[in-house]
Chains A and B, each alone.
Chain A
Amino acid sequence: KNEVEQSPQNLTAQEGEFITINCSYSVGISALHWLQQHPGGGIVSLFMLSSGKKKHGRLIATINIQEKHSSLHITASHPRDSAVYICAGDYGGATNKLIFGTGTLLAVQP
């Protein structure tokens, strides 16, 4: 069983919709990462957060350490947001080991 679980696995939305992707983790982490992987395969880091909330443009990431849960929100979604969104738990320390979720495939239709 993966220690980082994402839901949903697949998500289709209409342009303009508010989107939420969820991430739960089963063990304690020092930080939680949200990553975006485009169809070509390259990965871009969106957020790294250990508490509270962060916002960048139309993207918002929140984390609740007590509940071991994080959410990624996209406001006013656009077809260019179509990608795989991956959350990863950061165990920090001497290895900087990340445990990755399997990703959420988001398709935003015009």
Chain B
Amino acid sequence: DGGITQSPKYLFRKEGQNVTLSCEQNLNHDAMYWYRQDPGQGLRLIYYSQIVNDFQKGDIAEGYSVSREKKESFPLTVTSAQKNPTAFYLCASSRSVYNEQFFGPGTRLTVL
């Protein structure tokens, strides 16, 4: 089945540790996105990538880093510089930046 997978579904980390969230898609989409969702707020864009080996900061990129070495993969690293990392993280992809986005199931990160 074609789709977007994120793993793990739940992730716990100690404060001060970096953690990497996985996002994989087999839809052959060029564009990929990372969003953060907090209670009572709309999703906010962290980073996006229009094509492999390229990525751009979104609205709340501070404390995060990404890479796009392969078309299918867009991992997000939450660094210790991120002040409030506990949140629900959603990955999305689209055929191009001009097409509809499809979302993954999300990863809930809790930093203890």
Residues of A within 8 A of B (CB): 2, 4, 33, 35, 40-45, 48, 86, 88, 92-103
Contacts and interface: CB of A to CB of B under 8 A. Distances in A.
Interface in B52-93: 56, 88, 90
Interface string B34-56: 00000011111100101000001
Interface residues of B, number: 26
B48 A96 contact: yes
A35 B103 contact: yes
Nearest to B31: A96
A48 to B, nearest CB: 5
B111 interface: no
Contacts of B99: 96
Contacts of B90: 41, 43
